[in-house]
Amino acid sequence: MEQEKVKAIQEWPEPKNVKPVQSFLGFANFYRCFVHDFSLLARPLTSLTQKDQPWVWEVAQKEAFYQIKIAISQEPVLAHPDESQPYTLETDASGAAMGAVLSQRKDDGCLHPVAFMSASFSPAELNYDTHDKELLAIIRAFEHWRIFLEGTEHPVTVLTNHKKLEYWKSARTFNRRHVHWHLILASYNFLIVYWPGKQSQKPDALSRRADHNEMEHSPQIMLPETQL
């Protein structure tokens, strides 16, 4: 279970160009206050993001990348879950995948990650619109961390950058897919809160890992609702 909580970090692939480096550093920067000498540790990577800097991926860059992944995957960054305290769930969906971070506020007043998640969408799910992909990211996260999130005493605060999801629980009209999803989420105590894009970069970076390749939308055979 411990390895599963940080699998999304441990399997983060090595960058092949500057853009994935920027994404990784943007994610890691959220936790820099917990990592001793983070600026020094990350210097071989940050230098790659400077203007006109040639691309170099050698021992120093590899070592910095892996040491940061290790630092994020253990204490004092990673925290042990405490069922007596509220959870915060941050989710995001990109075109091809979803990412999520489960956190709790600890004695230092800061949100510490409890677990990370990153997963590709299936070919059928790639055809969903943005609203449904963002909602599916929430459902996937709840199901993945069911052992922590089902039947919590405190409501789980779900942070999303898709504002329309704030009102999803109170919507009066659902299609059959939404009815099914509503039943899945019925066993969880949660509140969806809109979290603007710039503040949702942690799950966003997980959903845009380079190994989640953008897949072309495949034509889907749509069955009549009576057969669903």
Tokens, residue 90: 């941050």
Q: Which pLDDT belongs to residue 195? A: 85
Where is 156: in which H helix or E strand?
Answer: strand 156-160
| β-bridge mates for residue 116, sequence order | 101
Q: Give, as one character, the DSSP assignment of residue 98.
A: E
CB atoms within 10 A of CB 150: 13
Say whether domain 2-72 belongs to CATH 3.40.50: no
**pLDDT above 70 (res 206):** yes
- Residue 169 is predicted with a pLDDT of 75
Fold of 88-207: Nucleotidyltransferase; domain 5 (3.30.420)
CB atoms within 10 A of CB 173: 5
Cα separation of the two ends of the chain: 35
Burial class (CB in 10 A: 0-12, 13-18, 19+), 116: buried
Domain with CATH 3.30.70 in the chain: 2-72
Domain with CATH 3.30.420.10 in the chain: 88-207
CA distance linking residue 44 with residue 175, whole number of Å: 50
* pTM across the whole model: 0.82
Q: Residue 188: is its pLDDT beyond 70?
A: yes
Mean pLDDT, range 78-88, rounded to an integer: 93
Is the pLDDT reported for residue 146 higher than 70?
yes
Peptide bond into 76 cis (omega under 30): yes
Output the pLDDT for position 109.
Answer: 87
